[in-house]
Amino acid sequence: MKVLTIVAHPREESLTMKVTNRFIEGLQDAGHTVEFIDLYRHEFEAALPVADEPIWDAEEQHFSPEVTKEIERMKSADALAFIFPLWWWSMPGIMKGYIDRVWNFGFAYGNSNLHHEHVLWLGLAAADKKKLEKRKYNTMMEHYFNVGLADYCGIPSSTFHLLTETNKVNSQQLDNWLMQAYELGRNYEK
């Protein structure tokens, strides 16, 4: 299976990038092929321009060359993975902009849906599990990613996974997070 893996973190040496690399190793060890997009190094423009605003009554949508290229890239993948630091209980703006522009009307929702069977949302949170559960942020995020995004766009299998307390890096915890990322890749969609 070809898994399009999309990451968003401004620092190349970040924990998010280390986790992404281990996740990809797990995918590859399980026999999957990977296409990788680093939204910051790719210099993806997150703001939705007029060219990518849907024309609601048009039978067919036409998008900018940048979005058309990303739509073709998504069409060539069997499944998806998004890896990101958790900022304000969601993904970074550049990743949200990717979804706003690429998961557009007429491709991801409306008269068409995404064809992917599975998506993994892997977030890295500084908060601990108690803080996430206190105001039900964990439930809200699971609903947002699994239902509000994936299900709405026709993806039948969606998993939201968080690595917590990622601001407290020690060698033992780092090894644990990297092993979790590897196993998520190795056991992708099982």
Express each pLDDT in 119-173 by its tens digit: 999 999 998 889 888 889 899 999 999 999 999 999 999 999 999 999 887 788 8
Q: In what order do the strands lie in the sheet with 33-38?
A: 33-38, 2-7, 79-85, 118-124, 157-163
Which stretch of 20-24, 34-38, 154-158, 163-167 has the lowest confidence by average pLDDT? 163-167
Tell me the C-alpha to C-alpha distance, in Å, between residue 40 and each of 13, 72, 124, 161: 13, 20, 17, 22
What pLDDT does residue 172 have?
86
pTM confidence score: 0.95
Largest CA distance in the chain: 55
Tokens 């060698």 sit at which residue? 171
Tokens representing 24? Answer: 């990809």
Q: What CATH number does the domain containing 161 carry?
A: 3.40.50.360
pLDDT at 189 over 90: no
Interval 77-92: pLDDT, tens:
999 999 999 999 999 9
pLDDT at 46 over 70: yes
Other CB atoms within 10 Å distance of the CB of residue 100? 14
Domain encompassing residue 15: 2-186
Number of domains observed in the structure of the chain: 1
CB atoms within 10 A of CB 12: 10
Query: DSSP assignment, residue 105?
Result: B
Structure token pair of residue 1: 């299976």
List beta partners, residue 105: 109
**pLDDT for 70 beyond 90:** yes
